Amino acid sequence: MVQLIAVAALGSVALVAYSSFRKHWDRIQREELEKAKKPKSGGDLEQDPKTGRYRLRK
């Protein structure tokens, strides 16, 4: 009987831990998806007349 209670308790703890992990994982994935949707532009570019390379406009 004690073994059954112990297994049930461990199962309950495992279920709660898994549920918490999934909520955390879903939140992280949602944040990453929002970051991916945002534009990645850091600003306007200007060409350096001497080198011909582009850099961010100040």
Task: Using alpha carbons, list the distances in angstroms from residue 8 to 14, 16, 17.
Answer: 10, 12, 14
| Domain definitions of the chain by residue range | 1-37
Per-residue pLDDT of 4-57, as tens digits, reads: 999 999 999 999 999 999 999 999 999 999 988 887 777 788 999 999 999 888
DSSP for 27-52? HHHHHHHHHHHS----S-EEE-TTT-
For residue 41, the model assigns a pLDDT of 72
- How much is the pTM? 0.57
For residue 42, the model assigns a pLDDT of 73
Dmax (CA) of the chain: 84
